[in-house]
Structure 1
Amino acid sequence: MVPRNKRHLNQEEKKREILNAASALFAENGFDGTSMTAIARSAGITPNTIYWYFPGKDDVLIGVLNNLTAGVLTEMATMTALPIRERLLNAITIFERPESLMNTVHSRITQSEVIAAWHSRFHMLIEQILVYEIIKAGIAKERAGTLARLLVYVIEGLLSHPLQQNDRENMVDAMLELANLPA
């Protein structure tokens, strides 16, 4: 069966279908194992049509990452009553899910300017959230930016080099203690 364009769908709906298809294929086959043609077929469009919406596969990846990030932020917003330690451990668990694609991002930073730019914006977003949390915990604003950056790097390190749950908890506890943040 040859895919056909769904002309009755508006652009945002079609874009959403493409991103949903890409998300499923990336989770199943990985970024490198998924072609633009496979994404188009899965979305029910012709291969050339996908390029009307996304200049390349990295741009599709960014769309998928933006959707995932929005979902994670929504999920994290439901955890505001939890202590910072629990929220950090939950964030690490969420971002290490295979569908989060964070390892793909880190492997593509040197190969793709658009991925590198997305990664920088993502860091800034997470750092801003952490700065807010750190200041809310009573740490001086002057120190909050450095501590937030440190937290981001520790989280990325734990994502890149997974540890057993007990070791991960010990790392987070040590980081919070060094930062003088309440667990």
Structure 2
Amino acid sequence: MVLEHIQQRLKSEDRYDCPWSWDSLTPELTAAQSRALVAWVLDYNENFVVRSSHLIPQCWPIHRGLAREIAATYSHWMAVFHHPTATPSDATYFYDRVLPPFQDRISRWLGPHAEKCQAGTHDAGWDKDVAERVNRVHDSAGDTLRALDGGIAQSLATTRSAPAEGSDDTADDAAVGSSHGRLGSPDDP
């Protein structure tokens, strides 16, 4: 189902519901994408991890920036290895230019205690500082905590990609980065 959707999106001129963008998926596609990502992460960990810092831990869905990057990398992988027009050059490009930087960013997306997550002992307070900033930006701790505590599909499907229209939180967006739901660099402060 996800493969067919990605292939259809690659052929389409209207790219509103892009499979690598959680915000644009229907609930049905979000659930299918979630299952596909779990399988892809297992395969990735089995075949491409050569350093512990490259391991995607079980808690990856909680790290929403990482989950979004996994979705984008997975979609790229699907296009490279399953699209009818894919070439060996596409595969080489993926292994040379897409996969290594993705692997190098995994620990950054996991936060200051990445090694705990990668050892299977996720620190429940890993995002305390970030969560406090998100709460101030949203001006509602309840909404933010519900989004953080929800399942991967619900959390990722309801995250904003940009500040709400008429909102004046662009300065806080820059400070919060992807934790606010805006895809930013893992190096954003």
Normalising by the smaller structure, the TM-score range is under 0.3
- Considering only CA atoms, is the larger Rg found in Structure 1 or Structure 2? 1
Provide the TM-score with structure 1 as the length reference.
0.27
State the structure with bigger RCO (CA 8 A, min sep 6), 1 or 2: 2
Provide the TM-score with structure 2 as the length reference.
0.26
